[in-house]
Chain A
Amino acid sequence: MKKLMDKVGFYGVAGLYLVLFGFPFVITIVMSFKSQMEFLGGNFWGFPSTLFFGNFARVFASNFPRYFANSVFVTALSVTISILAGSLASYAIARLKLKYAPYLLLFFMVGMMIPVHTTLVPIYQLTKAFGLIDSHWGLILPFVNFSLPIAIYIMTSFFREISISIQESAIIDGASPFTIYWKIMLPLSTPAISTVAIYNFLTCWNEFIYSMTLLNTERKKTLPLGIREFFGSETVNIPAVLTAILIASLPIIIFYIFAQEKVVNGLSAGAIKG
């Protein structure tokens, strides 16, 4: 009986949260089949009277595939580089017994405290000085820069929690720091790396203001800029914009599901502690 009550309680709470966190997603899907005229005509929240495919048509008629490819390129590189560089630095801070480690960590953490728009003008000027305006690498480097603080902060804190005995036995076996890092620390930190990957992917995938400022030509635009095209001057075609966002969100949703598997599978590796 108690077990039944427990289950009811569990699914009750879980279900409530499901509705709370899931309903906008459902609404977005419903909206994507509505025409703007029907929406403005008063049918805001209900199901469309007829299925309207114009929103999807508009999305695919635009340069969406191109923007999509650009976003994949920029995001994939930014995430990969920031995780590699970040985990290297995190390992050094967490495990290489450096006297200045806390200061170094704080140094990187400052990057988390900077409001997004503060660095817009300086980074623009820097990118211009490098001749990287209107190029994807001109975008990737700042993205890596934005991703590093949180990557280092989270990975350092996870590395610190991994039992030191593993590292010590590896050192006794004559392993170099790099081998320990590559063969031991990284595999053990899959949950942390996956988490950081999700955060950074999200940040880079949806990033708008730097993409808009640093890119000029149509061919180079990323998805957030493409979505912006569905915004009008003094008007927003809400069903069309939501449809565009829905389609643009698919990769990040897929990536999340994929990365979450990694987090779960890290369960077995957690047998180190306790």
Chain B
Amino acid sequence: MEKKRSASVHLTALLFILPAFLVYTLYTASSIFRTFQFSLHDWSGFGPVANSANIGFANYVKLFADERFLHAIKNNFLLVVVSIVFQLSTGMILALIINSKNRGTKFFRTIYPMPLLLSTVATGILWLLMFNPYTGLFNGLLRIISPDVRLSWLGSEQVVLFAVMFVICWQYSPQYMILLRAGMTNISAEVYEAAVIDGANKWQQFWKITFPLLSGTLKTSAVLSIVGSLKYFDLIWIMTGGGPNGYSELMATYMYRKAFTEDQMGYASSVASSMIVISLVVIIIVQFMLKQKDNQ
């Protein structure tokens, strides 16, 4: 009886998983395999990869001595930290705002996700204009305080990464607002009512009820934020191209540059493979740490 049930459960499971598994394996798994294959060759990207020399792990050796790449990794991890801190906290605040019973939340709910809904191209163009030293809004506002301000937000090697990270956080905070808000719907109103009866103020309600009950969603958000930051590409490419002089370079922009502007598809594939491995390791560590916290 048990064996029969077990077999039917497995068959059911197989059928449930099959559609997603098929598409995903076909496209993603095979792509990863191919990428790894490319990375073992000295391949420019032109013509079949089989025509190029198989150089084993030489690309990886070169990669981990590559200053630009190491700098890019640093930038990515900086982005991870900044993203988690700012995007999640902002997303949380926004979610609380739109979840509240005050009037006008419907309006807020519609406007807040605009950064996310308006295409990245528009975001890139608008913020490029805003950061312009001469005609940009930022310097324009600063000039009210001290005239002749010509700060070069995107041109200065020290500031550029932070300027773009600000825009990235701005763009993605609403994503976490949506996710956390969805998580909040799982918390029943009765729990809050009981707390209010017990005399808890809003602050206590948040830390003792909302925050703990959202821990699952927060963990999900953290993981999403981490993987997103490690593979991030768009706004850096649009607003700075990785410059000036590689100071805002990310692993993904470096990979793109090598693959499509420098005829080094093999080397670029080693960048891509490394990115996947790095992300995997980070996520496994994070999942492990989160499980530890759970068990405490």
Q: Are A85 and B178 in contact (CB under 8 A)?
A: no
Q: Check: A271 CB closer than 8 A to any chain B CB.
A: yes
Segment of B61-69, B81-89, B272-280 in the binding face? B272-280
Task: Give the CA-CA distance A249 to B114 in the complex, in Å.
Answer: 10
Main secondary structure, interface of B, reads: helix
Q: Are A89 and B276 in contact (CB under 8 A)?
A: no
A10 proximity list for chain B (CB < 8 A):
97, 100, 102
Q: Are A88 and B259 in contact (CB under 8 A)?
A: no
Q: Are B93 and A17 in contact (CB under 8 A)?
A: yes
Task: Give the CA-CA distance A192 to B94 in the complex, in Å.
Answer: 18
User: Which of the four size classes fits the interface of chain B?
Assistant: 35 or more
Least CB separation from A189: chain B residue? B182
Query: Contacts A21-B170, A86-B20, A122-B34; is A249 near B119 (CB within 8 Å)?
Result: yes
Q: Check: B135 CB closer than 8 A to any chain A CB.
A: yes
Main secondary structure, interface of A, reads: helix
Q: Check: B255 CB closer than 8 A to any chain A CB.
A: yes
Q: Check: A48 CB closer than 8 A to any chain B CB.
A: no
Query: Contacts A161-B216, A252-B117; is A263 near B185 (CB within 8 Å)?
Result: yes
Q: Check: B210 CB closer than 8 A to any chain A CB.
A: no
Q: 1/0 per residue A20-60: CB within 8 Å of B?
A: 11101101100000000000001011000000000000000
Query: Contacts A28-B118, A115-B252; is A154 near B185 (CB within 8 Å)?
Result: no
Q: Are B118 and A25 in contact (CB under 8 A)?
A: yes
Task: Give the CA-CA distance A84 to B19 in the complex, in Å.
Answer: 9
A79 proximity list for chain B (CB < 8 A):
none
A238 proximity list for chain B (CB < 8 A):
125, 129
B224 proximity list for chain A (CB < 8 A):
112, 150, 153-154
Q: Check: A68 CB closer than 8 A to any chain B CB.
A: no
Q: Are B116 and A119 in contact (CB under 8 A)?
A: no
Least CB separation from B45: chain A residue? A121
B175 proximity list for chain A (CB < 8 A):
199
Say how far A4's CB is from chain B's closest CB, in angstroms: 13
Q: Are B27 and A145 in contact (CB under 8 A)?
A: yes
User: Which of the four size classes fits the interface of chain A?
Assistant: 35 or more
Q: Check: A184 CB closer than 8 A to any chain B CB.
A: no
Query: Contacts A24-B115, A96-B12, A148-B20; is A227 near B265 (CB within 8 Å)?
Result: no
Segment of B148-156, B157-165, B226-234 in the binding face? B226-234
Task: Give the CA-CA distance A42 to B260 in the complex, in Å.
Answer: 36
B31 proximity list for chain A (CB < 8 A):
114, 118-119, 122-123, 126
Q: Are A21 and B186 in contact (CB under 8 A)?
A: no
Q: Check: A274 CB closer than 8 A to any chain B CB.
A: yes
Say how far A248's CB is from chain B's closest CB, in angstroms: 7
Q: Check: B23 CB closer than 8 A to any chain A CB.
A: yes
Q: Are B16 and A22 in contact (CB under 8 A)?
A: no
Say how far B188's CB is from chain A's closest CB, in angstroms: 5
Q: Are B16 and A88 in contact (CB under 8 A)?
A: yes
Q: Check: A77 CB closer than 8 A to any chain B CB.
A: no
Q: Check: B123 CB closer than 8 A to any chain A CB.
A: yes
Q: Check: B111 CB closer than 8 A to any chain A CB.
A: yes
Q: Check: B35 CB closer than 8 A to any chain A CB.
A: yes
A-B contact list, 21 entries, CB within 8 Å: A44-B135, A45-B140, A85-B20, A85-B23, A88-B20, A89-B17, A91-B16, A92-B13, A96-B13, A96-B16, A113-B279, A114-B231, A117-B255, A118-B272, A119-B31, A126-B30, A153-B224, A157-B217, A202-B116, A248-B119, A274-B191
Please give the residue numbers on chain A whose beta carbons come within 8 Å of chain B beta carbons, in ascending order: 6-7, 10-11, 13-14, 17-18, 20-22, 24-25, 27-28, 42, 44-45, 84-86, 88-89, 91-93, 96-98, 104, 106, 108-119, 121-123, 125-126, 141-142, 144-145, 148-150, 152-154, 157-158, 160-161, 176-178, 181, 191-192, 194-195, 198-199, 202, 206, 208, 224, 227, 236, 238, 241-242, 245-246, 248-249, 252-253, 256-257, 260, 263-264, 266-267, 269-274
10 more contacts with CB within 8 A, not counting A113-B279, A122-B30, are A14-B108, A28-B122, A86-B20, A92-B16, A106-B284, A108-B24, A110-B280, A113-B230, A157-B217, A227-B119
Please give the residue numbers on chain B whose beta carbons come within 8 Å of chain A beta carbons, in ascending order: 9-10, 12-13, 16-17, 19-21, 23-24, 26-28, 30-32, 34-35, 38, 45, 90, 93-94, 97, 100, 102, 104, 108-123, 125-126, 129, 135, 137, 140, 170, 173-175, 178-179, 181-183, 185-191, 202, 213, 216-217, 219-220, 223-224, 227-228, 230-231, 233, 251-252, 255-256, 259-260, 265, 269, 272, 275-276, 279-280, 283-284
Q: Enumerate the 9 nearest inter-chain pairs by beta-carbon distance, A residue then B residue, closest first.
A: A113-B279, A191-B182, A145-B27, A92-B16, A119-B31, A118-B272, A85-B19, A89-B20, A122-B31
